[in-house]
C-alpha cells in the first residue's frame, strides 16, 4: 500500500465559514480539489526518490520544474488558507503593526499597496508580505508557484491571485476579490509568523 508522505491538513474552520469573502463552493474546489491535486502530485514525484524525507521548505528551495511547482503550490495553499478565520479582519497589533507602519507608512497604505501588487500581477500567481532577517517587510509578486523562500525571505501573508481562487465568486473582479479578504485575515496567526522572526 502506498502511503502519503505529505498530507493535507483539516481546515481550522467550516467550509462555509468564510462566506461571503470566500464561498463554500470556492473552498470545495480550491482546497478540496486544486490543493488536493498539488499534494497528490507532490507525493507521486517524491516517492522513492532523494526528496522523500526532505522537509517541504527544503524541497521548495532546491527543486525545479514540476517538483518545485507542486511542492510550492502545496505549501502556498496551506499558508494561504491558514491565514483566515471567520473571526478575522481588523488590524494587527504589536510588533507587526509597528513594522507595517514603519515600512509602509500606515496599515491602510499597506493594504492599498498589497492589493495593487496582487491586481497588477499579470496572469497567475501570488502576492506576498515577507520579512528579511532584520524584520524589514517587503511586498512582492510571484508568478505561478513562486515563493519568497527561494529569495531568502520569510513569508508572513499571501493572497492567491490565480483565477481559480476567485472566479466562482467574483468572476474577473480580482481587485474586489482581494479587497474582501481583509475581512477574514486572522491577524493573530499572521502576527505570530512575524514575531518568530527568521
| Residues binding Mn ion (CB under 5 A) | 160, 162, 165
Q: How far apart are CA 148 and CA 152, in angstroms?
A: 7
**Coil, strand, or helix at residue 71?**
helix
Least separation in angstroms between CB 166 and Mn ion: 9
Residue with Cβ nearer Mn ion (78 or 115): 78
Residue with Cβ nearer Mn ion (100 or 165): 165
Beta bridge partners of 147: none
Least separation in angstroms between CB 162 and Mn ion: 5
CA distances from 1 to 30, 85, 152 (A): 28, 36, 38
Residue with Cβ nearer Mn ion (114 or 162): 162
Residue with Cβ nearer Mn ion (97 or 124): 124
- Measured from each CB, the residue nearest to Mn ion is 160
What single-letter DSSP state applies at residue 53?
T
Least separation in angstroms between CB 39 and Mn ion: 13
Least separation in angstroms between CB 107 and Mn ion: 26
What does the DSSP assignment read for 11-47? PSS-TTTTTTTS-HHHHHHIIIIIIHHHHHHHHHHHT
Amino acid at each position: 500500500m502506498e502511503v502519503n508522505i505529505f498530507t493535507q491538513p483539516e481546515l481550522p474552520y467550516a467550509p462555509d465559514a468564510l462566506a461571503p469573502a470566500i464561498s463554500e463552493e470556492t473552498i470545495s474546489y480550491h482546497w478540496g480539489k486544486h490543493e488536493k491535486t498539488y499534494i497528490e502530485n507532490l507525493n507521486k514525484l517524491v516517492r522513492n526518490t532523494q526528496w522523500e524525507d526532505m522537509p517541504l521548505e527544503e524541497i521548495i528551495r532546491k527543486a525545479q520544474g514540476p517538483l518545485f511547482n507542486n511542492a510550492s503550490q502545496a505549501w502556498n495553499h496551506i499558508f494561504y488558507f491558514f491565514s483566515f478565520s471567520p473571526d478575522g479582519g481588523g488590524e494587527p497589533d504589536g510588533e507587526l503593526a509597528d513594522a507595517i507602519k514603519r515600512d509602509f507608512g500606515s496599515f491602510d497604505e499597506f493594504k492599498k499597496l498589497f492589493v495593487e501588487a496582487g491586481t497588477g500581477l499579470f496572469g497567475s500567481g501570488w502576492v506576498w508580505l515577507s520579512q528579511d532577517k532584520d524584520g524589514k517587510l517587503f511586498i512582492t509578486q510571484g508568478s505561478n508557484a513562486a515563493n519568497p523562500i527561494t529569495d531568502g525571505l520569510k513569508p508572513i501573508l499571501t493572497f492567491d491571485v490565480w483565477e481559480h481562487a476567485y472566479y466562482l465568486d467574483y468572476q474577473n473582479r480580482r481587485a474586489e476579490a482581494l479587497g474582501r479578504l481583509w475581512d477574514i485575515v486572522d491577524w493573530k496567526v499572521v502576527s505570530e509568523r512575524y514575531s518568530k522572526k527568521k
